[in-house]
Amino acid sequence: MTRGVRGATTVVNNEANEILENTKALLQEMIEKNNIIPASVSHVFVSVTSDIDAVFPAKSIREFPGWKYVPVMCMREIDVPNSLEKCIRIMMVVNTAKSQQDIQHIFQKEAIRLRPDLVEEEE
Tell me whether residue 113 is annotated as binding.
no
Give me the architecture of the 2-118 domain, per CATH: 2-Layer Sandwich (3.30)
**Closest-CA residue to 4 (of 105, 77, 74):** 105
- 84 neighbors 114 (Cβ within 8 angstroms): yes
Tell me whether residue 89 is annotated as binding.
yes
* 34 vs 29: CA distance, rounded Å: 8
Q: Residue 123 has what pLDDT?
A: 42
Q: Residue 5 has what pLDDT?
A: 98
Q: Residue 60 has what pLDDT?
A: 95
Task: Read off the pLDDT of residues 23-67 as tens digits, 9 standing for 90 and up.
Answer: 999 999 999 999 999 999 999 999 999 999 999 999 999 999 999
Q: Residue 91 has what pLDDT?
A: 98
**pLDDT over 60 (residue 86):** yes
Query: How far is residue 104 from each of residues 12, 39, 50, 56, 98, measured CA to CA in Å?
Result: 25, 19, 27, 25, 10
- Rounded average pLDDT over 7-20: 98
pLDDT band at 118; cut points 50, 70, 90: confident
Percent of the chain with pLDDT over 70: 97
**pLDDT over 90 (residue 120):** no
Percent of the chain with pLDDT over 90: 92
Spatial CB neighbours of 103, under 8 Å, sequence gap ≥ 6: 3, 4, 5, 34, 96
Instruction: Please report, for the chain, the start and end positions of each structural domain, with discontinuous segments joined by +.
Output: 2-118
